[in-house]
Amino acid sequence: MTSILFILVLIAAGYFLVSRIKIRLSHTRVYIGIYMLLLMFAVAAFYYLGKTGSSLALENSEARESEFHRFLETGRVEHLKGIRKLGQWSFTYRGKELALKSTKDYFWTVVAIERKNASDETIEVISYTTGMQLKDADNPPGVKLKDGQLQLTNPPPVEIDLYATVADFTMTQFNAEKSVYNVDHSLAQNILGNQVLLVRIPAQLQLTVDETVSVIEQK
Amino acid sequence: MSLSTINLFTNVKRQLNYKLKANAGILFSLVAVQLLAALLSYNGTVSIGWGSGTSFISLRLVSGDIIIIFSLIWAFTAGLIVAANSQRYDFVFVTNRLSSNLSSVAVLFILSVGGGVSATLCGILLRVYLLLNNNSISSTYLSPYILLIGICSAVLYSLLFSAIGYFLGILSQRNKAYAVLLPALFFGLLFVEARSVGSTRHILSVIYFFIKESSLLIFALKILLAVALLYSAVILIANRMEVRQ
């Protein structure tokens, strides 16, 4: 109802204004000429930027999600195509037991535990993401070793503002496969990606995990 | 008594030139309407949000849809204005109803082509502006072929909207009550039909007849047929009108 009222108001306002605009034809020719030149320039620039400019490639894909979990379970997560390192920590630890816990209610990133073959008294922690490389969005979690505890802190909240230009309805009407609003959850999944915190511990180290952390033991 | 004989084509051509000059303000308003629509489209036509853990994504989809819709409203208004002005300008020349309507149709054709082409290209201007000023943007590649389809489709829609506007403008000259009754009837029925479930939806069927067509050729035929019907009706109605009201 509001949109119908809005359209009616627009028509009435347009009629009122347009019927009162008295502009010389010579002036109109100049304005329209400049406007058309601007539009032509925009078309040339659009195709030029399409070839040379950089823009994000957004794609809906559920395959990447299952591939991530497959690599995670088989202990090859760092070899996953497109994975990026967000942060890396190394701690010397001589204790026999280590507790893994979150400093807040719940640690959102999955922790993959990998036991090294050697007992080298070193704990290595690497943060990976499969998400898109976006400005101000690549924040690794906090990792701290204190009093026999590996304390994990969620990365600071991130708000990502993205723009996607899509085809007009006059184009998609005759091109069904390129639906304008064909955007689903898998697109968000591709933007955010999956995060994993790979913790490499010495072979003989006894590990206790707090219920606030999700852990996958790599095979 | 006139000393020279003017044929229909010459008469229409003269009136067309005159009406184009007289309606120059309509073209000027098109630029204003499209730039306003581009400004409104800048923040996205549709916004989608997702949250996961501590992250939140807001994805704004930007297209030229609002620019095209505003341009179609402009085309409809142009039809109304040309119909209203024809009464004022027609009798400057030696004319009859047929030559007057043909020249008005030619004016609306030119305006619709201009409106349709510029509406699509203004969407491209908006995309270029966003690409140059925003790093977090995903740009859908539009091939020149798709762009051409968009332009043709926008021109056809503009032709239809201007023809509807002209038809209503002429009808309301015949009886002023139509100016209020017909839009009220259209929007009223549209509103009722949109809310009713299961019953026959005449207005929506007519709208779907055009917007659900996926073949550009058939779509063009549908539009041209509808436009021809509207202008034929206009000529029939105008022939039964008084010389000047």
Q: Is the pLDDT of residue A55 over 70?
A: no
| Domains held by chain A: number | 2
Whether residue A169 lies inside any domain: the answer is yes
Tokens matching residue A194: 């999956």
Chain A CB contacts of B137 below 8 Å: 55-56, 162-165
pLDDT digits (tens, 9 = 90+) for A123-159: 999 998 887 777 767 888 899 998 888 999 988 888 8
Output the pLDDT for position B128: 92
Please tell me whether residues A85 and A128 are part of one structural domain. yes
> Which residue range forms the structural domain that includes residue A33?
2-52
- Residues A197, A106 within the same domain: yes
Residue with the bigger pLDDT between A54 and B67: it is B67
For residues A193 and B52, give the distance between their C-alpha atoms in angstroms, rounded to a whole number. 10
The residue ranking higher by pLDDT, B225 or A5, is: B225
A96 & A161 share domain? yes
The answer on A187 and A129 residing in a single domain is yes
In a domain, A178, yes or no: yes
Q: What pLDDT was estimated at residue A110?
A: 87
pLDDT digit string (tens) for B201-244? 777 888 889 998 989 999 999 999 999 999 999 988 887 765 55
Same domain? A120 vs A204 = yes
Nearest neighbour of A162 by CB, restricted to B81, B127, B136: B136
Query: Residue A95: what pLDDT?
Result: 86
Backbone phi, then psi, for B93, in 5-degree steps? -110, 170
Q: Which of A12, A32, A52 is the last residue of a domain?
A: A52
Contacts of A8 in chain B (CB under 8 A): 183, 187
Residues of chain B with pLDDT under 50: 245
Which among B192, B173, B172, B174 is positioned nearest to B182, based on CA atoms?
A: B172
- If asked whether residues A19 and A69 sit together in one domain, one would say no
Any domain includes A25: yes
Residues A36 and A99 in one domain: no
User: Is it the case that residue A180 has pLDDT exceeding 50?
Assistant: no
Check whether residue A146 and residue A179 sit in a common domain. Answer: yes
Q: Is residue A121 part of a domain?
A: yes
Residues A24 and A69 in one domain: no
Of B20, B53, B77, the CB nearest to A18: B77
Q: Do A29 and A90 have their domain in common? A: no
The pLDDT, as a whole number, for residue B200 is 67
Residues A96 and A197 in one domain: yes
Tell me if residue A92 falls in helix, strand or coil. Answer: strand
- pLDDT tens for A74-126 read 777 777 887 888 889 999 988 888 898 888 788 888 888 888 887 788 899 99
How many angstroms separate the CA of residue A71 from the nearest CA in chain B? 21
**Average pLDDT over all residues of chain B:** 84
Give A-chain residues touching B85 at CB under 8 angstroms: 19
The sheet carrying A122-129 orders its strands as A84-92, A122-129, A195-201, A107-115, A213-217
DSSP state of A154: P
Q: Is B134 touching A (CB cutoff 8 A)?
A: yes
CB A142 within 8 Å of CB A197: no
Q: Are residues A20 and A79 in the same domain?
A: no
Say if A58 falls within a structural domain.
no
Q: Are A124 and A88 in contact (CB under 8 A)?
A: yes
User: If pLDDT is split at 50, 70 and 90, which confidence band does A5 have?
Assistant: low
- In a domain? residue A18: yes
Residues of chain A contacting B147 with CB distance shorter than 8 Å? 43, 171
Interface test with B, best of A36, A86, A170 (most B CBs within 10 A): A170
Question: CA-CA distance, B29 to A22, in Å (whole number)?
Answer: 11
**Angle between helical axes of B177-195 and A2-20 (0-180°, round to 10):** 150
